[in-house]
Structure 1
Amino acid sequence: DVVIHFAGKPLVADCDLAPFDAIKANGLGTAAVLEAARYAKVKKSIIIETDKVYGYQEVVPTPETAIFNPGSPYEFSKVVAASVCDFYRKHYREMDIISVRPVNVFGAGDYSFTRIVPAAIRNIKNGKGVPVQEHAVNIARDFIYVRDVAEMMYILATRDTKHSVYNFSTNQSMSIWTLAERITKALDHDVEPIIVKKPGNYPEIPFQSIDGSRFIEEFSFEFTDFEQAIRETYNES
């Protein structure tokens, strides 16, 4: 049997407003899942963490071996979850626990419009430009298609692994403005991206890029073309 733990509080702004709830959901929630898995003698547990556990790093792309550097309640709550995984992994050696740290996931079914891709799809469907928050024009992030993530999770669930921690990244970081331009072009939209105000005052990492080579090389994985993934997301939304 395999347990895959996706649940948690995923929005940076929400966690900034309610840090205790974030720590309880993301940190203690992970502990509850692993304790249940231990009690039930589950063969493998896969825990979804986040690239945000690394926080701001001098070395980019950032490898799985980097020291955590959380700078917001969301990042800290996920570091708590990662620390729980590390403790259970070391103390209960009979447990097979794999930690996954994906970059920003996009795809159909995401209606959190504070995120750039869902907001872009909504605006384009309404004949408007892709909204880019004013502080994020030069912020850089990696993005990964949800169908690729699902395939990667299946691989981890069904195959033996060499490692216990994997970054999920295409190794192709881009600025948010470049992302908006690529979405606009991929969907043949004739309205330029627009600048909008940030909805809160929560901190964000100015530049983040993590190294996904460990998974890519171990499993010879190939990602869906970004423009194709955007078109599929648009058509299925």
Structure 2
Amino acid sequence: MSLKLERLIKRRKTEIIFTIVLFIFAISLVLLAQGSWSKNLFIQLGERLGFSILVALIVRLLSLAFSELEESDNTDRYEYHEAIQTAHKRIWIYQTWLPGIQRDAIEIVDSKASDVRILLASFKEGSPIYARIRGRGMKLERGKTNVANSTDPFVERNIADRVRFNHNHHPAWIAIIDSSVFWGPTPIDTDSHAVEYLFRKHPINSREGEFWKKQFELLWSDSHSHSFDCEKQYNEQL
């Protein structure tokens, strides 16, 4: 069973059960009218009720299908991690630090993606990380440790050049994985991935996908970020 179907069932479990019960009830009314009691007034009324319920269920299922299509940009952390694990072409991620820190970093370095770019927060003076840490009520040293731990697997694999550090604007978290673009706003007082209904996903060739890809490329440029070696002077834990 696909993850999308599992999420749909979980989200609409009560409605699905109620729909199945109504469907069985409606079919029973219609079939009952085909027997020897078909001329009974109450049976005839029941048959009409059964057909009405079936029509209502069909209309509801159609509206539900269109609703799911309209909300197709909704996603969650499970689809996000599934995309990383199955990536072959590209993993570009921009976060202050990786949500799962070292665990997420290992997941990325173990992937088969050929183009990996990880953009984390710089502790250069004026960086938005300082406002982020104040909002979270965290100590500065913990923030530096989170960033350092997010980079450790890349250092151990001698691929620290795949990590850069942003010292300018922080628009949102961005994850471009193969042909999908995941993104979401950054809450003030909690982790970016803690509020799952804020997760969004778009095809990379969509209007939204192209926008966030360009934002990532801008953040990756020398105007907004710098290398691992350069960041060492601002984060002594690297």
The verdict on a shared fold, with TM-score over 0.5 as the criterion, is: no
TM-score, normalised by the number of residues in structure 2: 0.29
TM-score, normalised by the number of residues in structure 1: 0.29
Which has the larger helix fraction?
2
Larger Rg: 2
